[in-house]
Amino acid sequence: MTAPDMSYRSSLKHIAVEEPIDLLVHRPLGYVVARLCYPTRISPDQLTIVSMLLGVAAGVLVGASVGRAGAGWLPLAAGLFVLSAIIDCSDGQLARMRRSSSRLGRMLDGAVDAVVQIAIVPAAVVHMFVRRGGAGQWDAWAWAIAGVLAVLLGMRHTTLYDQYKNLWVRNGTPSTTDCDDVDDLERDIAEARAKGPLSWLDLFRFNFYRTHLALVAATMRVVDPYVPERFRSMPAYSEASGERYRALNATLMRAWSCFGVGTHIFTMALALAVNRLEAYIVLRLVLFNVVLAALVPAQRRASRAFFRSEVAS
């Protein structure tokens, strides 16, 4: 019997799609957690729930800081936010080490990410709004509106990263991990319902994931219409097609890897720690969108070159 591979490398996704901040901070520490949990009965889903609880606790501390002089509990909240991201990384690392990755796990992971954002982001925006003078100050309103826009755009940024990560896996490697079409999800839901009533947790993650896949499809129709809507509609993988996809997309994938949720969490946590959410807002609204303005046309050209040539062949 082959010994399980518990190396750090085995706990990672494909290295080309990993976020730099994850490789520098979240993944090494997440590996320690996963390695400690490996011989125990602790499951990846349980780690996911722990990450959610830490994120919600961070949100509570941000909310408790509203109206306080100075930063209040924000540095501690920022630390819990990063710790939540570390545990969130460790669940996938543990699943890969145990070779137990599943669509259900991915659904729960994404839903928990949303819960954490909902717990922290509105409280952070309200804290900034009050610190800048509240309803009586026009600049407080301007920053609050900018904060909402930054969050909405940040959701699209992370959606694009997730999709191009999955496209890399589907077309640049022999794997199909993470490559879920909406009818795959509907089949899972039908099979789960056939076994009995769905739990609140299953309802939550199924509905969240369905919404996520719909958002991905709507975003990609606008951003990159050359990409087929379904993974199963894409050309079959071969060594030649994989090499061509990687050649066209290697630099682009490295750029997309800076748009993921790990980068969002770490930069927002730094801004919270120093009580300057404005820095995060400017970074997300200005720098990220300037990069995106150059990245999207380049990505469209690469997608058109790959998918049209593969269909033609």
Q: Is 125 in contact with 139 (CB distance < 8 Å)?
A: no
Q: What is the pLDDT of residue 68?
A: 78
Q: Is 177 in contact with 169 (CB distance < 8 Å)?
A: yes
On whether residue 235 sits in a domain, the answer given is yes
On whether residue 3 sits in a domain, the answer given is no
CA dihedral 109, 111, 114, 120 (to 10 degrees): -70
Which residues constitute the domain of residue 268? 9-312
On whether residue 133 sits in a domain, the answer given is yes
Write the single-letter amino acid at 235: P
Is residue 67 helix, strand or coil? coil
Q: What is the pLDDT of residue 102?
A: 74
Q: What is the pLDDT of residue 311?
A: 58
On whether residue 254 sits in a domain, the answer given is yes
Render 161-199 in DSSP notation, one character per residue: HHHHHHHHHHHHSS--TT---HHHHHHHHHHHHHTSPPP
Best CA proximity match to 267, nearest among 131, 16, 85: 85
Q: What is the pLDDT of residue 71?
A: 75
Q: What is the pLDDT of residue 2?
A: 60
On whether residue 272 sits in a domain, the answer given is yes
Q: What is the pLDDT of residue 3?
A: 65
Mean pLDDT of successive 10-residue segments in the chain (313 residues)? 74 91 95 94 93 96 86 92 95 88 78 90 93 90 94 90 94 86 85 84 83 89 94 92 96 96 94 94 95 96 90 57
On whether residue 1 sits in a domain, the answer given is no
User: Tokens standing for 58?
Assistant: 């961070």
For the domain that residue 149 is a member of, what is the CATH number? 1.20.120.1760
On whether residue 4 sits in a domain, the answer given is no
Taking residue 45's Cβ as centre, other Cβ atoms within 10 Å add up to 19
User: Tokens standing for 283?
Assistant: 């970074």
Q: What is the pLDDT of residue 183?
A: 86
Q: What is the pLDDT of residue 199?
A: 82
On whether residue 48 sits in a domain, the answer given is yes
Q: What is the pLDDT of residue 27?
A: 95
Question: Based on the structure, what is the number of domains in the chain?
Answer: 1
Best CA proximity match to 9, nearest among 26, 19, 23: 23
Q: d(Cα 212, Cα 219) in Å, to the nearest integer?
A: 10
